[in-house]
């Protein structure tokens, strides 16, 4: 499965650093008489060598924990001339490559969902194999748990020598600061076990990540780490490490102007990684999934505005309706219409109400008479994906404050998540 690359036109402005920066440096105390310390240029060269040695040490120690992932599946290609001359469609074997890394001594491998997903994006590829550093032979792997909405997956190799399992320690992405060192490991363009280096460019870049439950394939907006370490197709699922060798993120996407023109994404110095803390919060649920799907937390509501999508109805926000139509129905400009509230759920316990009548229109239907959620924890909500983006990192016992409109009345409602929200 191929995730579409984000597309944009970027303008980069360089900063010229003059030699005066070197001349302004002051030798270290106690080293004034050292010939090496007396030269600012040599002192700078020494600092660069120290950084290089740090990178070499990290790669030597933790690259054995990197995993090369290969998927195979049969895809039927329609015969373009079959309608005229007859003949059958052709079945071809489609291969995909990506990366992952060991997270524990049992051999669990964390990667992106889209690395192991099937061609349709629904469920895993039928054949997944993995290979570790300095080994020519790959071994099969099976799915432990899938989290499409987070674009994360946990797989486990079968028959791999236990001595080859080298977990990489997990860091704390909440403590990251822009400017920190970042090392990306993976298999760009299938060039397995490659390493690039850069910095953390941003720690809170909001981008669509993962795949929605609506079947549209759209991602849920989440916080991501931005880095200028070179990331290319094939790096997906690989680790992003800090200067201590701890995993701070899972490489997942790139911003690629070239990809918009050619369809093949290439590094432009803007890559994104899923913060490792999001994965750590999800890891216990993935380990207990028994090969199934782990979903984002649920409040217990069903969207009340749906339109006919390709093959199935798709929930949408009020922005999909015309202003005149919303005015006639007495609805706000934007928001998530609550169609139904399941009993004994956090939404029901908080007093949220679904619609009591349904009105159909060309291409869709809407539930009326219930609540409309317009914001969650201060973030605007115009559809189920907006609500999920606020809930996605919540844990049992956490709460979310919803701004709700019912008729002409607006109020704030506090909803507390329970264990049932995560089942």
Per-residue pLDDT of the chain (423 residues; tens, 9 = 90+): 444 333 332 221 222 222 222 222 333 333 334 444 445 545 555 656 888 999 999 999 999 999 999 998 876 666 665 555 555 656 677 788 999 999 999 999 999 999 999 876 778 999 999 999 999 999 999 999 999 999 999 999 999 999 999 999 999 999 999 999 999 999 988 888 999 999 999 998 888 888 876 545 567 888 899 999 988 888 999 999 999 999 999 999 877 555 444 555 555 678 999 999 999 989 999 999 999 999 889 999 999 999 987 667 888 899 999 999 999 999 999 999 999 999 999 999 999 999 999 999 888 999 999 999 999 999 999 988 889 889 888 888 999 999 999 998 999 999 999 988 887
Residues 411 and 305 in one domain: yes
Residues 225 and 317 in one domain: no
- Six-digit token pair at 310? 């390709």
Name the nearest CA neighbour of 125 among 102, 141, 147, 108.
Answer: 141
Residues 192 and 272 in one domain: yes
- Does residue 2 belong to any structural domain of this protein? no
Beta bridge partners of 100: 67
Residues 186 and 273 in one domain: yes
- What is d(CA 111, CA 318) in angstroms, rounded to the nearest whole number? 35
- Does residue 324 belong to any structural domain of this protein? yes
In this structure, what CATH number is given to the domain that contains residue 375? 2.30.42.10
Q: What is the model's pLDDT at position 191?
A: 86
- Does residue 23 belong to any structural domain of this protein? no
- What is d(CA 91, CA 75) in angstroms, rounded to the nearest whole number? 6
**Domain around 332:** 301-422
- What is d(CA 205, CA 280) in angstroms, rounded to the nearest whole number? 19
Residues 222 and 305 in one domain: no
Q: What is the model's pLDDT at position 28?
A: 32
- Does residue 165 belong to any structural domain of this protein? no
- What is d(CA 208, CA 190) in angstroms, rounded to the nearest whole number? 25
Residues 306 and 273 in one domain: no
Name the nearest CA neighbour of 115 among 104, 134, 128.
Answer: 128
- What is d(CA 254, CA 5) in angstroms, rounded to the nearest whole number? 6
Residues 190 and 263 in one domain: yes
In this structure, what CATH number is given to the domain that contains residue 230? 2.40.10.10
- Does residue 330 belong to any structural domain of this protein? yes
Q: What is the model's pLDDT at position 249?
A: 97
Residues 305 and 418 in one domain: yes
Do the strands 336-341 and 305-308 form a parallel or antiparallel pair, or are they unpaired?
unpaired
Global pTM reads 0.75
Domain count, the chain: 2
Q: What is the model's pLDDT at position 188?
A: 87
Beta bridge partners of 14: none
Q: What residues have CB less than 8 Å from 25, skipping those under 6 apart?
A: 40, 43, 44
Residues 315 and 273 in one domain: no
Residues 270 and 363 in one domain: no
- Which of 225, 242, 277 is a domain's end point? 277
- Does residue 326 belong to any structural domain of this protein? yes
Residues 317 and 241 in one domain: no
Residue positions annotated with a catalytic role:
114, 151, 236
- Does residue 64 belong to any structural domain of this protein? no
- What is d(CA 341, CA 351) in angstroms, rounded to the nearest whole number? 9
- Which of 277, 310, 338 is a domain's end point? 277
Name the nearest CA neighbour of 387 among 413, 369, 366.
Answer: 413
- Which of 277, 312, 331 is a domain's end point? 277
Q: What is the model's pLDDT at position 32?
A: 37
Residues 262 and 335 in one domain: no
- Does residue 230 belong to any structural domain of this protein? yes
């Amino acid at each position: 499965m191929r995730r579409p690359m984000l597309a944009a036109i970027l303008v980069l402005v360089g900063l010229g650093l003059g030699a005066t920066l070197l001349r302004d440096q002051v030798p270290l105390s106690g080293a004034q008489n050292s010939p090496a310390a007396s030269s600012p240029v040599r002192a700078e060269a020494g600092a660069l060598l120290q950084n290089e040695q740090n990178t070499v040490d990290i790669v030597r120690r933790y690259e054995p924990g990197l995993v090369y992932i290969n998927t195979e599946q049969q895809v039927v290609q329609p015969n373009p001339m079959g309608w005229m001359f007859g003949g059958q469609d052709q079945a071809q074997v489609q291969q995909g490559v990506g990366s992952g890394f060991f997270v524990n001594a049992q051999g669990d491998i964390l990667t992106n969902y889209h690395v192991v997903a099937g061609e349709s994006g629904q469920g895993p590829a039928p054949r997944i194999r993995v290979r570790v550093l300095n080994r020519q032979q790959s071994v099969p792997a099976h799915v432990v748990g899938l989290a499409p909405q987070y674009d994360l997956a946990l797989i486990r190799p079968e028959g791999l020598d236990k001595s080859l399992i080298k977990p990489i320690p997990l860091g704390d992405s909440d403590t990251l600061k822009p400017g920190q060192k970042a090392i990306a490991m993976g298999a760009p363009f299938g060039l397995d076990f490659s390493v690039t280096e850069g910095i953390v460019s941003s720690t809170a870049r909001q981008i669509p990540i993962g795949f929605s439950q609506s079947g549209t394939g759209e991602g849920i907006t989440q916080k991501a780490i931005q880095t200028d370490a070179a990331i290319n197709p094939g790096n997906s699922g690989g680790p992003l490490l800090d200067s201590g060798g701890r995993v701070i993120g899972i490489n997942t996407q790139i911003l690629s102007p070239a990809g918009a023109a050619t369809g093949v994404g290439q590094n432009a110095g803007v890559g994104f990684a899923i913060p490792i803390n999001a994965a750590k919060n999800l890891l216990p649920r993935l380990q207990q999934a028994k090969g199934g799907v782990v979903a984002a937390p649920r409040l217990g509501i069903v969207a009340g505005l749906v339109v006919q999508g390709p093959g199935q109805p798709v929930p949408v926000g009020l922005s999909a309706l015309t202003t005149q139509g919303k005015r006639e129905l007495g609805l706000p400009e934007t928001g998530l219409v609550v169609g139904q509230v399941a009993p004994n759920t956090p939404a029901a316990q908080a007093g949220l109400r679904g619609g009591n009548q349904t009105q159909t229109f060309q291409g869709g239907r809407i539930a009326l008479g219930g609540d409309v959620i317009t914001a969650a924890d201060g973030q605007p909500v115009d559809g189920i994906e907006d609500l999920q983006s606020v809930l996605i990192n919540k844990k049992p016992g956490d709460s979310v404050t919803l701004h709700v409109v019912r008729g002409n009345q607006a109020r704030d409602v506090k909803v507390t998540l329970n264990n049932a929200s995560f089942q």
